C-alpha cells in the first residue's frame, strides 16, 4: 500500500489525567502514516488525486491543540477519526502520539501510543 508520511509534528496541548497537565499543558509529537493508492496522483501530477499534506497537518493540529482529553489513546483515535472524515481517499492510517514529558517517575525518553485504523465501509 502506498503511504504519505508526516513525521514528528510538534504541538502544544492540554491532555492528561493530572491537574498540572490540563492547566500547564505540554508538547506532543505526532507521526501519521496515511495509506492510499497514489497511482493516479503520481501519473496526473494533480493534488486533487491525492491528499494535501498541509491539510493533514491542520486536521491533526486542531485535534491536539483542541479540547483536552484524559488519555493519549483518545487523542490518537480522534486524529484517526478526523482524518477519515476529512479525506475520502484515505484507506487506512497509523497514528503515533508521543508525550515526551509525562508526569511519571523514572528515566525514559518518552511514552507513546500508536494505533492502526482502517476505513469502515
Residues marked active site are found at 99
Closest Cα partner for 75 from 120, 30, 116?
30
Counting beta carbons within 10 angstroms of the beta carbon of residue 120, is it exposed (0 to 12), middle (13 to 18) or buried (19 or more)? exposed
At 59, list the grid cell: 486536521
Residue 38 Ramachandran class (φ > 0 left, ψ -120 to 50 alpha, else beta):
alpha
User: What is the Cα–Cα distance from 63 to 12, expressed in whole angstroms?
Assistant: 11
User: What is the Cα–Cα distance from 64 to 15, expressed in whole angstroms?
Assistant: 8
Amino acid at each position: 500500500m502506498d503511504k504519505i508520511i508526516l513525521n514528528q509534528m510538534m504541538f502544544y496541548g492540554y491532555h492528561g489525567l493530572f491537574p498540572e497537565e490540563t492547566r500547564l499543558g505540554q508538547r506532543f509529537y505526532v507521526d501519521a502514516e496515511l495509506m492510499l493508492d497514489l497511482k493516479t496522483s503520481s501519473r496526473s501530477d494533480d493534488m486533487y488525486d491525492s491528499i494535501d499534506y498541509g491539510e493533514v497537518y491542520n486536521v491533526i493540529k486542531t485535534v491536539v491543540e483542541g479540547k483536552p482529553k484524559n488519555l493519549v489513546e483518545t487523542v490518537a483515535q480522534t486524529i484517526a477519526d478526523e482524518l477519515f472524515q476529512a479525506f475520502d481517499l484515505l484507506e487506512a492510517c497509523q497514528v503515533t502520539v508521543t508525550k515526551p514529558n509525562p508526569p511519571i517517575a523514572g528515566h525514559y525518553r518518552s511514552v507513546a501510543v500508536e494505533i492502526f485504523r482502517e476505513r469502515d465501509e
